[in-house]
Chains A and B, each alone.
Chain A
Amino acid sequence: GQQVMQIPQYQHVQEGEDFTTYCNSSTTLSNIQWYKQRPGGHPVFLIQLVKSGEVKKQKRLTFQFGEAKKNSSLHITATQTTDVGTYFCAGARSNDYKLSFGAGTTVTVRA
């Protein structure tokens, strides 16, 4: 079945530094979504990528969808304490509403 894998599981970052989290699927995806879950909260949608090779930016966050539509990345520059939380990628195959999530990358920030 479809599997979405995400690395690293944990990311400890010094405030001001950059980091990247990666997402890989065993199957070709129709889209990839990214969510953020703050401690004690529920996942909140950040963005969706649909096109092969697509790149989208949200302030300090850059999202990329691979050419083969099997992988994605989230790059955060100049990390701030507000970036603390767990970032999940999620994807679905074409014509399928089965939305599968990765295990998430939990980010902690050292001030």
Chain B
Amino acid sequence: DGGITQSPKYLFRKEGQNVTLSCEQNLNHDAMYWYRQDPGQGLRLIYYSQIVNDFQKGDIAEGYSVSREKKESFPLTVTSAQKNPTAFYLCASIPTGALSEAFFGQGTRLTVV
């Protein structure tokens, strides 16, 4: 069963703690993305990676970190430096080659209390 998997679906953390969101894909896609979704603001790009061991900051990278050690995995860490971390986080991947359809995971809803 091919696809992109995000876990967990819901995540609760205390303020000041770092938390890592998982994103795994078995589609053999090279490019992977992390977006944050807040009501009325659409999808804002946090980080993206075109190939293994390489990634670029998106529009709202401050307070976040990523790694891309394997093609299948692109975990996102929300650090304590992120001032307003409560949001819906979406991971996506795109096939190799020219930019084409993005496949999204089911998302992780992070609540920081």
Contact = CB atoms under 8 A, between A and B. Distances in A.
Partners in one complex: yes
Contacts of A48: 100-101
A42 B90 contact: yes
Contact of B99 (A9, A31, A104): A31
B43 interface: yes
B102 A42 contact: no
A99 B59 CA distance: 11
Interface residues of B, number: 26
Interface residues of A, number: 23
A6 B92 CA distance: 21
A20 B43 CA distance: 20
B99 A92 contact: yes
A73 interface: no
B66 interface: no
Contact of B106 (A33, A42, A90, A99): A42
Contacts, number: 58
A43 interface: yes
B41 to A, nearest CB: 6
Interface in A27-52: 30-31, 33, 35, 42-45, 48
Given A33-B101, A33-B102, A45-B102, A101 B43 contact: yes
B45 A99 contact: yes
A102 interface: yes
Given A1-B59, A9-B40, A42-B104, A97 B99 contact: yes
Given A33-B101, A97-B99, A101-B35, 15 more contacts: A9-B40, A42-B106, A43-B92, A90-B43, A92-B99, A97-B31, A97-B50, A98-B56, A99-B33, A99-B92, A99-B99, A101-B42, A101-B43, A102-B42, A103-B42
Interface of B: 31, 33, 35, 40-45, 48, 50, 56, 58-59, 90, 92, 94, 99-107
